Amino acid sequence: MRKILISGASRGIGKAIALKLLKEGHSISLGVRKKENLINTPLDPKKNDPRKFILHNYDALDKKSAEKWIKETVKTFTSIDTIIHCAGIIKRTNLLFNDDEIQDIEHLWKVNVLGPWVLTKKAWNYLKISKSGRIIVLVSMSGKRSKGNLASYSMSKFALMSLCQTMRNEGWEKGIRVTAISPGWVNTDMAKEITNFPKDEMTQPDDIARICSNLLELPNSSIPFEIALNCKLEISN
């Protein structure tokens, strides 16, 4: 059983992963901005074993919260061998953005790239000690190709993919394995504005949770670096 940090676990993909891994008996430590959103749900600390379940404040914009979350987790679990990065935002800033939209670009950079970077850096020594550390990152198809008017989101996800490659390279000899999961549309709040594609034909968060669960069963020699999944055909050339 693993000792897992999951960011962005308040809803969407992160929440689905948390529910699945909790059911499977892993120790899970959830980083969320508003703990009260999980009260009276299966992810309420009162409904779980405090030796195996932590709900902690985490805001990707606040480096100190990453530090405190890790410290608190290690105090209870003694270590951390897995991080699943699900916290992320989308903004529809296009190439010729208005001057006042520059803050959206900065916001994307801070949450989608610096957030997982800082969290990984602070947990790195623990991942290393385990000799089979795992880092799973929710990237996106937007981190593989640029499409539509999502210039800034795509920029952040390409940068995140590059971060995944570096983490893989630097972690390899220490037994750390990285998987970048790149879905197209997933049926969560993030995709709620998509009206030209049926929600039930999108990738479902529970299916990504199943992928994560499978990844955690594989040995160091068999971890895929990248999992790209489309809910709709894309012809790239």
Ligand X SMILES: NC(=O)c1ccc[n+]([C@@H]2O[C@H](COP(=O)([O-])OP(=O)(O)OC[C@H]3O[C@@H](n4cnc5c(N)ncnc54)[C@H](OP(=O)(O)O)[C@@H]3O)[C@@H](O)[C@H]2O)c1
Does 89 bind ligand X (CB under 6 A)? Our answer is: yes
Does 188 bind ligand X (CB under 6 A)? Our answer is: yes
Does 13 bind ligand X (CB under 6 A)? Our answer is: yes
Mapping DSSP onto H, E and C, the string for the chain reads CCEEEEECCCCHHHHHHHHHHHHCCCEEEEEECCHHHHCCCCCCHHHCCCCCEEEEECCCCCHHHHHHHHHHHHHHHCCCCEEEECCCCCCCCCCCCCHHHHHHHHHHHHHHHHHHHHHHHHHHHHHHHHCCCEEEEECCHHHCCCCCCCHHHHHHHHHHHHHHHHHHHHHHHHCCEEEEEEECCECCHHHCCCCCCCHHHCECHHHHHHHHHHHCCCCHHHCCCEEEECCCCCCCC
The minimum distance between CB 129 and ligand X, in angstroms, equals 26
The minimum distance between CB 175 and ligand X, in angstroms, equals 25
> Given candidates 1, 23, 25, 34, which one binds ligand X under the rule CB under 6 A?
34
Does 14 bind ligand X (CB under 6 A)? Our answer is: yes
Does 8 bind ligand X (CB under 6 A)? Our answer is: yes
The minimum distance between CB 87 and ligand X, in angstroms, equals 3
Does 87 bind ligand X (CB under 6 A)? Our answer is: yes
Residue 58 among the catalytic residues:
no
Does 59 bind ligand X (CB under 6 A)? Our answer is: yes
The minimum distance between CB 204 and ligand X, in angstroms, equals 10
Does 119 bind ligand X (CB under 6 A)? Our answer is: no
Residues that bind ligand X (CB under 6 A): 7-8, 10-14, 33-34, 58-61, 86-89, 111, 138, 140, 183, 185-186, 188-191
The set of catalytic residues is 153
